[in-house]
């Protein structure tokens, strides 16, 4: 739009009167203003609800803010205490990393396998897709967590099933060895949104690649490894990053199902942060914890992004590695 306006004034009368010039000046600004107006709601939301609270929490992390009393600047005292004298910090980091390492790969594998199975033209496929996606619609909610607690409790449905075939099983969510795994399984079960993205990615793979490879004698398994996976690697990359970011912030199920126990075996980072902020009202301390978490996520995401050049394959720029 901008360009056409300029073009019009260039090809117009050579003796352009000043009024017309002002018109074009207005026009030149017209378009961006309209654009900014359109995104204004988002910008307001971003600055008011995201950036401002974030910066404020950065400030609070250097104070002893408790919500009720006056705010006092304490410098790096919060960070010092977290890194040097806080056993619960160490424990919650450990649990969180275990959770991320356990849940993200398993969830991706489950999502990918189901997506491959669902990526075919069978009668009623939309019905299957919908029903498989369904757990993710209600996912992460309190209700599902409560359900999980009942299924995997000592006398839960799962153990009753095992008992009927003669297996004496432990209380999955009340045993420190298995509690975190119960939460990981809950997160894996909610693979639906990654699966939908995988499905979209699978649809993007040109059919001629499969035709060509089958002419070359590749069977289904070889095709999966040599065609599907490389072509899908950008989607895997995307799902991996999103999965990691989400897994780091895991809170609901740990809070509802186990409340961090038994023996702090499910004491994830967000739970510890919550306890500091709303259990003990140490909002300054909790803000420092939040910023440490943010930096941790950024580092992990950056590492994944850096590693991507070794395993993510873009069809268009195969010469990328060499160029470097």
Partner 1 sequence: MALKWKRSLAVLMTVALSITLAACGGSKDKESDTASTNNNTSSDGKVKLRIMWWGSQPRHEATLKALELYTKNNPNVTFEPEYSGMDGYLDKLSTQAAAKNAPDIYQLDPGWVSDWQKRGQLAELSGVDVSKVDPKVLTIGRFDDKQYAVPLGSVAYGMIYDKAALEKSGGAAPQNGWKWDDFFALADSMKGKLPQGQYFTKDYAGDYFAYSAYQYAAGKGTIVTDDGKFNIDHDTYIAWTTKFEQLRKDGLVPPADLNASDKEFDPTADLMVSGKILFRLSFSNNYASWDSLKPGAYALVTMPRAAEAGGWLKPSMFFGISPNSKNAEEAQKFVNWFLNDPEAAKILGTQRGMPVNSEIGASIESTLSPADKVGLELLNATLPDGQTFTTGAPGWTNFIDKDFALVRDELSFGRTTPEEAFNKLKSAAEEYENQ
Distance between CA atoms of 122 and 127, rounded to whole angstroms? Answer: 10
Backbone angles phi, psi at 73, to 5 degrees: -75, 125
Residue 201 and residue 283: Cα distance in Å, rounded? 42
Shortest approach of partner 1 to residue 82 CB, angstroms? 13
**Residue-wise over 2-19: b if at least 16 C-beta within 10 A, else e?**
eeebeeebeeeeeeeeee
What residues numbered 119-158 form the site for partner 1, per CB under 8 A?
153-155
Among 64, 136, 174, 213, binds partner 1 (CB under 8 A): 174
Using the rule CB under 8 A, is 315 a contact of partner 1?
A: yes
- Pick the closer one to partner 1 by CB: 48 or 105: 48
For the CB of residue 179, give the shortest distance to partner 1 in the complex, in Å: 9
Please answer whether residues 13 and 24 qualify as being in contact, where contact means their C-beta atoms are separated by less than 8 angstroms: no
**Which residue, among 199, 196, 198, 224, has the nearest Cα to 210 in the 3D structure?**
224
Number of residues that bind partner 1 (CB under 8 A): 42
Does 238 help bind partner 1 (rule: CB under 8 A)?
Answer: yes
183 in Cβ contact with 258 (< 8 Å): yes
Which range binds partner 1 by CB under 8 A, 25-33, 63-71, 99-107, 116-124?
63-71
Among 32, 73, 170, 299, binds partner 1 (CB under 8 A): 170
DSSP for 34-76 reads HHHHHHHHHHHHIIIIIIHHHHHHHHHTTB---SSS---B-TT
Task: Compare residues 62 and 285 and give the one whose CB is closer to partner 1.
Answer: 285
The strand pairing partners of 87, in sequence order, are none
Binding mask 184-223 toward partner 1 (x if CB under 8 A, else -) reads --------------------x-------------------
Quickly list H helices, 119-191.
Answer: 125-137, 142-151, 157-164, 179-189
Could you tell me the smallest distance in angstroms from the CB atom of residue 88 to partner 1? Answer: 9
Residue 230 near partner 1 by CB under 8 A: no
Tell me how far, at minimum, the Cβ of 11 lies from partner 1, in Å: 33
Q: What residues make contact with partner 1 under the rule CB under 8 A?
A: 45-46, 48-51, 53-54, 66-68, 153-155, 170-171, 173-176, 204, 234-235, 238, 241-242, 245-246, 249, 261-264, 275, 277-281, 314-316
């Amino acid at each position: 739009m901008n360009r056409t306006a300029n073009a019009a004034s260039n090809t117009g009368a050579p003796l352009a009167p000043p009024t017309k010039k002002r018109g074009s000046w207005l026009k030149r600004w017209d378009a961006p203003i309209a654009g900014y107006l359109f995104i204004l709601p988002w910008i307001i939301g971003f600055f008011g609800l995201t950036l401002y609270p974030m910066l404020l929490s950065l400030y609070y992390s250097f104070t002893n803010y408790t919500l009720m009393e006056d705010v006092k600047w304490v410098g790096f005292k919060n960070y010092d205490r977290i890194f040097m004298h806080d056993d619960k910090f160490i424990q919650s980091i450990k649990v969180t990393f275990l959770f991320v390492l356990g849940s993200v790969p398993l969830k991706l594998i489950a999502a990918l396998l189901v997506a491959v199975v669902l990526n075919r033209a069978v009668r009623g496929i939309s019905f299957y897709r919908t029903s498989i996606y369904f757990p993710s619609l209600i996912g992460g909610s309190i209700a599902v967590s409560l359900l999980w607690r009942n299924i995997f409790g000592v006398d839960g449905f799962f153990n009753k099933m095992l008992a009927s075939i003669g297996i004496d099983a432990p209380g999955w969510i009340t045993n420190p060895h298995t509690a975190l795994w119960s939460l990981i399984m809950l997160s894996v079960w909610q693979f639906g949104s990654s699966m939908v993205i995988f499905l979209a990615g699978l649809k993007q793979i040109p059919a001629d690649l499969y035709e060509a490879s089958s002419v070359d004698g590749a069977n289904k398994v070889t095709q999966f490894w040599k065609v599907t996976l490389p072509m899908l690697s950008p989607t895997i990359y995307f799902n991996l990053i999103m999965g990691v970011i989400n897994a780091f912030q895991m809170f609901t199920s740990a809070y509802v199902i186990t409340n961090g126990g038994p023996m702090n075996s499910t004491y994830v980072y967000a739970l510890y942060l919550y306890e500091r902020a709303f259990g003990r009202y140490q909002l300054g301390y909790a803000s420092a914890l939040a910023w440490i978490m943010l930096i941790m996520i950024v580092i992990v995401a950056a590492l994944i992004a850096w590693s991507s050049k070794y395993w993510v394959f873009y069809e268009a720029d195969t010469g990328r590695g060499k160029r470097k």
